[in-house]
Structure formats: C-alpha cells, structure tokens
C-alpha cells in the first residue's frame, strides 16, 4: 500500500513543527539514545550522528567540538533521505547474521535498479558507542535529490514484500521550520505504514576506532578455522556448494606442521609481477608452486564471489586452510612457493568493510592484523609493489579481464590505498616490500637477497 499523498511543502513543515516540538520528551523514548550512525561521504570522510533529544538544545555533543558537517545539509532538503536498517541482536548467532547479510545484499541490488535510478545509495553503519561486538548493523541510506513521490511508493512496495525476519526498519528525515533535523521511524502494520517514532538527529563524536572493528572477527577477518566454517554451515540450505566446500575442509587435519623446507609467500596486487616472480623462484629452487584459493575451489569461486561479504570471506578464509594442508605435505620434501595466502584474504576484507578513508583503518599493531593461531605460518612473505600508473599500463598492455576486486581497485583509489596500507600493517609474519618496478633481473635479485637472508 502506498504512502499517503504529500501536502505542499509549507503545510508539511508546519504540521511537522506542531507534531514534533511539543512531543520532544515523548519522542526521545522511541529510539535507543546510545545508538549512533556513521555515514560515508563522497570525500571518504565519515559523518557520525545519534538520535534523541538534547534538553538544552545544543547542536554539539557533550565533551568537545564535533567535526561532523552540517547534518541538515547532508540528510535534509532539497530532496529527501531514507534509511533502511536490518536489526540483528548482538547475541544473535551466525545464521541470523547470514540471513541479514543476504537480505541487505538483495535490498542493495533492488535499490540500484531502474525504479531507483534517480536516487543515490550510500553505506550507513549503525552501532553502539560502547564498542561491544555484535552491535554494528549495516544500513542503507537512500537519497532522492528530487523528493519524488514515486520513490516512497516504490520503497513501500519493496519493503512490504520482505516477508522474512529480520524485517528492515524504514526511516526518513525531515527538517522543521527551525532548521532542526528529525528522523521519523515507520512500521508496517496490517498493510499500512504507520509512524511509530520520531527523534532529533544530532551530531555525535567520532569514536577512537572504526565502529565495525569489533565485528570483523565474526564477519570478515576470521581469526580461526571454526569461525569461518560456522558461516558456511549456515549457508548449506540455500548454497548447495557450501556443503562440498565443508567436506573438503573436514578432510584437512585441524593441526598441521611445516616440514623442514622453507615456505615463501608472494603477495601483491594484480600486474605487480607475481606470476613472473613465483615461477622464477619455484623453478630455481625446484620448489612446489601452490596458489590460494586452491584449484579444488576454483569451480565454485564465481558462486561465492556473488554472495555477501560474510559468506564470500568465509569461503576464501577456508581456502587458506586447504592450502595449509597442502603446504604441510609438500614442505616435507621440497621448498614451497605460495601465490597469495592469508594476507590477501585479510587485507581485502579490511579495506572493504572499514568504510571511509585511510584514517579510519585499524591502527598499526591492532589485533586484526595478526596471523590466525591455527593456520600454518610461512617463513617469508614478500609483497610486490608497483606505482599505480605503471600497474595500470601493465594491465592495459596485457588486456587482462578485470576481476570484481580489480575493477574496484581501478575505480577507487582510496580502496586501493587501504589495501596497500593494510598489507604493510600485517604482522607475525609481516610483509617484506619489494619494488617490482625495475627490470625483471633487478627484481629477482632483490627477491633472492631476501630469501637468502630470511630462509636459512
């Protein structure tokens, strides 16, 4: 059922003023006062805000100046902004998080479809400022620059068709005649959308660490095998291939040990020379060359690449444990060279999930950069680097087909920089940087020097 037809803007604002201002105290109780939001802006900064009523009428949060830009200018007129949030309780299990991620992905795809092509879709994160794991919730901000009535009708139909739990929460934003921004919360009851709450939108202080960090170990950067396995276990009812992957994982011993020969991992973005270096070094050392993800998972990569982050990252994380089992067997008899390993899995997950620019990445020495304790560790990790201009020349010269992540690296320089910085912050083991811009001979000489000095 569509929303009621709108009145002219002046009547709507006057009505909004009458409705909201006398009821401020009552409205404050409709939303948890300790829930905050982080909105990613076009310049890769984050605008933080919260919901409630400040009895003193302050526009700044207590405790100091707020660096958040004017929220009314971001969320208010001209145009209209809507937020769609998927509530997941902090204590919810893995299956609930997977269901929410699937619904979030489906909504994103539909909001980027033809019915909303005139709108802008932006990442929005809801979180508790106490930093407790499980509190972060991925939301969507839909911005309609023209405030067209068809947008609201389309949202009505889209969300009304979401029959399964969790059902998305829908809000929109209004500016009253006094320039204050309010969020109105709507709920679908008996086929009709009813306003069930209203809260004043106020700036919030930026937290010391990105609010998604406490949830990364359960959603993207899995610290051990069982955490990733639980995700795929929750997918077996709707992704048949997940069971096949789990069967392969269950054939791998949970504890494996490296043999007497060295294990060397070569990391780097596409077109940095990984293929050349890995083949040359493996030939010279008479080593076994392995790749992550392993070839046994290759037939299912396209399936899992199209899944939400939590499922996709669990798939690639488990692939590392299959590679570890292969490393353990092969390193008994010969050296092993590995084309990418856990560092790739972790860096791309961090760069994707941590919204905003470089300044929002976890600081150096954060636990998220630590190697999983139950994953076989290599003796040496080399990170090949090439300046962005040279790397793009190589990609265009080779005419290689771009992967989804490669397309993102090309289109979004901030994303590429976050991947590169995350690589450089990895620890235990850390990455040894190798400038792969010089000639092939010079690069290989640098690589050989590092191998000789670190693999005794």
The domain ranges of the chain are: 9-55+70-203, 214-454
d(CA 34, CA 363): 25
d(CA 325, CA 258): 9
Specify whether the CB–CB gap between 195 and 16 falls below 8 A: no
d(CA 346, CA 446): 26
* Entry pTM: 0.86
What pLDDT, on a 0 to 100 scale, did the predictor assign at position 286?
A: 95
- Going by C-alpha positions, the residue among 373, 375, 337, 352 that lies closest to residue 422 is 352
Residue 121 φ/ψ, nearest 5 degrees: -110, 125
109 burial via Cβ count (<10 Å: 0-12, 13-18, 19+): exposed
Identify the DSSP state of 123.
E
Tokens found for residue 421: 């910085």
Q: SS3 for 98? A: helix
What value, to the nearest 5°, has the Cα angle with vertex 271 and ends 270 and 275? Answer: 90
Q: Where are the beta strands (DSSP E) in 178-312?
A: 181-189, 192-203, 263-268, 288-291
Polymer length of the chain: 456
Q: b or e along 68-93 (b: 16 or more beta carbons within 10 Å of the residue's beta carbon)?
A: beebbebbbeebbbbbbbbebeeeee
The β-bridge relationship of strands 80-85 and 36-40 is: unpaired
- Going by C-alpha positions, the residue among 191, 167, 187 that lies closest to residue 2 is 191
Cis bond leading into 78, ω under 30°?
Answer: yes
CA distances from 213 to 223, 302, 353 (A): 13, 27, 9
What value, to the nearest 5°, has the Cα angle with vertex 288 and ends 370 and 283? Answer: 115
Q: b or e along 122-136 (b: 16 or more beta carbons within 10 Å of the residue's beta carbon)?
A: bebbbbbeeeeebbb
What pLDDT, on a 0 to 100 scale, did the predictor assign at position 404?
A: 60
Tokens found for residue 68: 């958040």
What pLDDT, on a 0 to 100 scale, did the predictor assign at position 130?
A: 86
Q: Scanning the structure block, which residue is given the tokens 């998972």?
A: 297
Percent of residues, the chain, with pLDDT higher than 90: 64
What pLDDT, on a 0 to 100 scale, did the predictor assign at position 55?
A: 42
Specify whether the CB–CB gap between 27 and 40 falls below 8 A: no
Question: What architecture does CATH give domain 214-454?
Answer: 3-Layer(aba) Sandwich (3.40)
Q: b or e along 172-199 (b: 16 or more beta carbons within 10 Å of the residue's beta carbon)?
A: bbbbbeeebbbbbbbebeeeebeeebbb
- Going by C-alpha positions, the residue among 243, 250, 240, 281 that lies closest to residue 263 is 281
What value, to the nearest 5°, has the Cα angle with vertex 65 and ends 31 and 352? Answer: 65
d(CA 212, CA 134): 9
Tokens found for residue 345: 């899995």
**Mean pLDDT by 10-residue block, N- to C-terminus, for the chain (456 residues)?**
41 42 37 76 91 53 43 89 87 88 93 93 92 88 94 92 77 89 90 89 92 95 97 96 97 95 93 88 95 95 95 97 98 97 96 95 97 97 86 66 58 86 96 92 94 89
Residues 6+ apart with CB under 8 A from 442: none
What pLDDT, on a 0 to 100 scale, did the predictor assign at position 411?
A: 59
CB atoms within 10 A of CB 261: 17
Q: Where are the beta strands (DSSP E) in 298-424?
A: 336-339, 380-385
What pLDDT, on a 0 to 100 scale, did the predictor assign at position 400?
A: 55
Q: Scanning the structure block, which residue is given the tokens 């905003």?
A: 356
Rg (CA), the chain: 25
């Amino acid at each position: 059922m569509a929303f009621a037809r709108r009145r002219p803007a002046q009547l709507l604002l006057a009505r909004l003023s009458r409705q909201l201002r006398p009821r401020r105290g009552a409205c404050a109780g409709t939303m948890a006062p300790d829930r905050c939001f982080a909105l990613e802006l076009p310049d890769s900064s984050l605008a933080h805000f919260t919901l409630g009523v400040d009895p003193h009428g302050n526009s700044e949060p207590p405790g100091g100046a707020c660096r958040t830009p004017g929220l009314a200018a971001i969320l208010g007129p001209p145009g209209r902004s809507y937020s769609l949030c998927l509530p997941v309780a902090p204590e919810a299990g893995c299956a609930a998080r997977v269901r929410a991620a699937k619904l979030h992905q489906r909504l994103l795809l539909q909001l980027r479809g033809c019915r909303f092509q005139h709108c802008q879709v932006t990442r929005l994160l809801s979180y508790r400022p106490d930093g407790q794991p499980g509190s972060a919730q991925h939301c969507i901000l839909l911005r309609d620059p023209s405030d067209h009535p068809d947008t609201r009708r389309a949202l009505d139909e889209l969300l009304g068709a979401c029959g399964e739990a969790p059902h998305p929460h829908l809000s929109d934003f209004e500016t009253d005649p006094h320039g204050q921004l309010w969020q109105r919360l709507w709920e679908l009851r008996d086929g009709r959308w009813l306003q069930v709450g209203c809260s004043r939108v106020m700036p919030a202080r930026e937290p010391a660490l990105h609010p998604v960090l406490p949830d990364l170990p359960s959603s993207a950067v899995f610290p051990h095998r069982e955490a990733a396995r639980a995700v795929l276990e929750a997918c077996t009812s709707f992704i048949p291939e997940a069971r096949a992957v789990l069967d392969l994982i269950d054939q791998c011993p949970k504890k494996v040990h490296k043999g007497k020969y060295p294990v060397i991992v070569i990391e780097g973005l596409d077109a940095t020379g990984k293929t050349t270096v890995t083949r040359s070094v493996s030939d010279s050392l008479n080593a076994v060359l392995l790749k992550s993800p392993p070839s046994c998972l290759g037939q299912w990569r396209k399936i899992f690449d199209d899944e939400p982050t939590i499922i996709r990252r669990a798939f690639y994380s488990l692939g590392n444990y299959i590679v570890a089992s292969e490393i353990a067997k092969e390193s008994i008899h010969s050296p092993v060279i590995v084309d990418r390993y856990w560092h790739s899995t972790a860096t791309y997950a961090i760069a994707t999930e941590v919204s905003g620019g470089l300044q929002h990445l976890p600081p150096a020495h954060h636990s998220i950069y630590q190697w999983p304790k139950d994953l076989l560790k290599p003796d040496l990790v080399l990170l090949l680097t090439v300046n962005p201009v040279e790397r793009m020349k190589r990609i265009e010269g080779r005419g290689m087909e771009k992967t989804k992540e490669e397309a993102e690296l090309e289109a979004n320089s901030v994303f590429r920089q976050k991947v590169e910085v995350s690589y450089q912050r990895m620890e235990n083991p850390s990455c040894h940087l190798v400038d792969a811009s010089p000639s092939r001979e010079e690069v290989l000489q640098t690589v050989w020097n590092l191998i000789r000095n670190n693999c005794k």
